[in-house]
Amino acid sequence: MTNEAAARRVHIIQGEYKVISDPDVVLSTILGSCVAACLRDPVAGVGGMNHFLLPGSANPGMGGGDATRYGVHLMELLINGLLKKGAKRERIEAKVFGGAKTIATFSNVGEQNAAFAMQFLRDEGIKVVGSSTGGEHGRKLEFWPVSGRARQYPLTGAETQKTVAQEQRPAPVQKPVESSIEFF
C-alpha cells in the first residue's frame, strides 16, 4: 500500500470528475447535500470520483456549465472516462458518499441525490460495494482510486454550513468561445 504522507492529493469540486490510474494519488472532496460516486476497476487499476449537486439531468437547452451540476451528466462522464482508460463495465465497483440533509427547512435534496446515484448504478449494472449517505452533517471524503480505499471524516456544524454556502452558489456560466474560423 502507498505511503499516505507521499500520496498526491487531487481535490474534486462540485461539477467535476477525475479518472486516475496512479496508485500514489488520493482524490478528496467536501460534501454536504452533494453526492460523490467513487468508481474503480480493480483489474485495470483505474478509478475515479465525481461530485454532483442535483439528481437527474438539466433541462434541454441548458449550457454545459449548468449540466455539470447534475448527476446524470457526471455519472456518464465518470463511467466513460473509466472505460477509455481500460476499465470493463462488468468489473466496475462503486462506493457512494454524501447526501446529507444540511438545512432542516429545505427539501431533502441530499436524499434525492443519494437515491439517484444508487438507482443509476443499478440501472448501469454497476455493483455498489459501499456507501455512507444521509445524516445531518457534511463529510470530508478521501478515495484512493487504484486500491478502492475510502475514508471519510464528519464535518462540524460550522464546516457543514460553509459547505452548504458553497453548494448554494450559482454555477459559473460558461461563455461561448470566440472563433476566428469563417464558414462560407
pLDDT for res 178: 42
Q: What is the pLDDT of residues 2-32, one digit of tens each?
A: 455 567 999 999 999 999 999 999 999 999 9
The share of the chain scoring above pLDDT 70, in percent, equals 72
Q: What is the pLDDT of residues 69-100, one digit of tens each?
A: 678 999 999 999 999 999 999 999 999 999 99
Pair 99, 110: CB distance under 8 Å: yes
pTM for this structure?
Answer: 0.79
Cell representation of residue 169:
452558489
Q: What is the pLDDT of residues 143-167, one digit of tens each?
A: 999 999 999 999 876 655 555 555 5
**Stretch (H or E) spanning 116:** helix 109-123
Neighbours of 156 (CB within 10 A): 10
State mean pLDDT over 164-179.
47
Q: What structural domains does the chain harbor?
A: 4-168 (3.30.1330.200)
Pair 91, 44: CB distance under 8 Å: yes
**Stretch (H or E) spanning 79:** helix 71-84
Catalytic residue annotation: 34
